[in-house]
Chains A and B, each alone.
Chain A
Amino acid sequence: MNKIVKLTLFLAVVAGLSGAALSFVYQMTDPIIQEAAIASEKENLVKIYTSGEEFKALDTGLADYTALQGCYEASSGGTVKGYVYKCSVTGYGGASTPIVYLVALDQDGTYKGYEVIDCSGETSGFGSKVAEDSFKNGIVGKNIGDSIDTISGATISSSAVVDGINQATEHYNANFK
C-alpha cells in the first residue's frame, strides 16, 4: 500500500511541476500571440479605415452571435469612429470552409466598409461573387439596418453574408449605438 501512495505522490509532483512550467510559458507567450492576431487582422482593417485610425479588439457579448468572430473599435485621437466586425458564415462550401469577411459600422450611421478575407470554399463565378465590387457597392454607404440585396444565382452564399451583417448590426445596436 505504501508503494502505491509513493508512486501516486511522485506522479502528482511531476504533473504539478509540468503544470507550473506550462502556465509560466503560457503567461510569457500569450500577449505576443494576441498581438500577432491583431497585427494580421490590421492588414485588412486599414483597407476600411484608411486615415491611420487606431484599432482595439473588443469581445463584449460576441459569444451570443454565431457569425461574429471578433470586433475592433476604430478611433482617431480619442474619438470613436466606428466598429469593424469580423464575421464567419457557412456558405455553399460547408462548415469546413466558411466565408470570412469584415464589415464596418460607422458612427455616422452607415455601413462604412466590407472586405472579404476568404471565400475559397464558394463556387467560382457564382458564390465567389460575394467578393466582387458589385455586391460590395450594395452594402457600403447604406444606412445601418437597411435591407441588403442578395445576389441571384448565388443566393446561399450571399444570404449567408447578409445574415452575418444583420448579426453585426444587432450587436452594434445593442452595445454601441
Chain B
Amino acid sequence: MKKLDIFKKGLFIENPIFVLLLGLCSALAITTSLTNAIGMGMAVTCVLIMSNVIISLLRNIIPNEIRIPVFIVVIATLVKCVQMLMNAYTPALYESLGVFIPLIVVNCIILGRAESFASKNGIVDSLLDALGMGLGYTFAVLVISFFRELIGTGGLSLYNPFDASQVIFDVKIFADYAVSLFTQPAGAFMTLGCILAFVQFLKIKKEKKAKKLKEAEVK
C-alpha cells in the first residue's frame, strides 16, 4: 500500500506542475500540440527515472559536500544522451522541441527529486517516485496542450513520435473559430493560470468541507 502511495503522490497530490509549480518553463513552451507534449513527457520521465535510480544507487558513496555538483553531472549526462537518441530516432520531435530538450537539465523537478527523495530512499521507492512524478508531469503537459491545441487551432491531432508522417488522429472541430492567441506565449500563460485557478478552487472547496465536518463534530 505504501509503495502505491509513493507512486500516486506524484500523479495528483504533489503533481509537479499543478501543485509544486516546478518545471514550468518547458511545460509552457512545448504545450502547443499533443504530440510535442507526449514527446516531452516521455523525455522528462526517462531522465527522471534514470537519474533517480542512479542517484539512489550512489547515495551512500557520494560525499555530502559535493552532492549537488555530482547530481548535476549525472543529470546533464543523461539529458545529453536522451537528446542524442531523440535526434537519431525521433528527428521531427527533436526539431520541434528544440532547445527545451537540453533545458531539461535545469528543470527543477529532476534536481528537486534527486535532492529531496532519491538521495534519501532506496532504489525501488526512488523508481516509483520518479515514475509517479514523470507521469504526473506528462499528465499535466497533456492537459495544458489539450486546451491550447483545441482552442488555438480548432482541432486536435496526434502524430507518431517516431515517424512524423504517420498520423494517429487529426480532427478539426471548429477550425474557423480558432483563437490563435492560444498557440502563442500569451495563451500559454493564461491557460495554465486558469487551470491552476481550478486546482485552487477544488482545494478551497475541500478545505471548506473539512471545516464544516469538524464544526459538526464539535457541536
Interface positions of A (Cβ within 8 A of B): 6-7, 10-11, 14-15, 18, 21-22, 25-26, 28-30, 32-33, 36, 40
Tell whether, in the assembled complex, residue A32 and residue B88 are in contact, meaning their CB atoms are under 8 Å apart. Answer: yes
Tell whether, in the assembled complex, residue A6 and residue B74 are in contact, meaning their CB atoms are under 8 Å apart. Answer: no
Tell whether, in the assembled complex, residue B84 and residue A10 are in contact, meaning their CB atoms are under 8 Å apart. Answer: no
Tell whether, in the assembled complex, residue B87 and residue A33 are in contact, meaning their CB atoms are under 8 Å apart. Answer: yes
Tell whether, in the assembled complex, residue B69 and residue A11 are in contact, meaning their CB atoms are under 8 Å apart. Answer: yes
Q: Once the chains are docked, how many angstroms separate the CA of A28 from the CA of B84?
A: 9
B65 within 8 A of A: yes
B168 within 8 A of A: no
- What 1/0 mask marks residues of chain B from 159 to 202 whose CB sits below 8 Å from any chain A CB? 00000000000000000000000000000000000000000000
- What 1/0 mask marks residues of chain B from 65 to 90 whose CB sits below 8 Å from any chain A CB? 11001100110110011001101110
Kindly list chain B residues whose C-beta atoms are within 8 Å of the C-beta of A7.
63, 65-66
Counting chain B residues whose Cβ lies within 8 A of the other chain, the interface size class is 10 to 19
Tell whether, in the assembled complex, residue A18 and residue B63 are in contact, meaning their CB atoms are under 8 Å apart. Answer: no
Given A14-B74, A15-B73, A18-B76, 20 other A-B residues pairs in contact with their CB atoms under 8 A: A6-B63, A7-B63, A7-B65, A10-B62, A10-B70, A11-B66, A11-B73, A14-B70, A14-B73, A18-B73, A22-B80, A22-B81, A29-B84, A29-B85, A29-B87, A29-B88, A30-B84, A33-B87, A33-B91, A40-B91
Tell whether, in the assembled complex, residue A18 and residue B66 are in contact, meaning their CB atoms are under 8 Å apart. Answer: no
Q: Once the chains are docked, how many angstroms separate the CA of A99 from the CA of B89?
A: 28
Q: Once the chains are docked, how many angstroms separate the CA of A105 from the CA of B81?
A: 39
Q: Once the chains are docked, how many angstroms separate the CA of A5 from the CA of B16?
A: 38
Interface positions of B (Cβ within 8 A of A): 62-63, 65-66, 69-70, 73-74, 76-77, 80-81, 84-85, 87-89, 91
Tell whether, in the assembled complex, residue B87 and residue A10 are in contact, meaning their CB atoms are under 8 Å apart. Answer: no
Instruction: Say how far B89's CB is from chain A's closest CB, in angstroms.
Output: 7
Most buried by A among B63, B74, B80, B81: B81
Tell whether, in the assembled complex, residue A33 and residue B66 are in contact, meaning their CB atoms are under 8 Å apart. Answer: no
Kindly list chain A residues whose C-beta atoms are within 8 Å of the C-beta of B63.
6-7, 10
Contacting A32 at CB < 8 Å: which of B70, B76, B81, B89? B89
Q: Once the chains are docked, how many angstroms separate the CA of A32 from the CA of B91?
A: 10
Kindly list chain B residues whose C-beta atoms are within 8 Å of the C-beta of A25.
80-81, 84-85
Kindly list chain B residues whose C-beta atoms are within 8 Å of the C-beta of A28.
88
Tell whether, in the assembled complex, residue A36 and residue B91 are in contact, meaning their CB atoms are under 8 Å apart. Answer: yes
Q: Once the chains are docked, how many angstroms separate the CA of A22 from the CA of B80?
A: 7
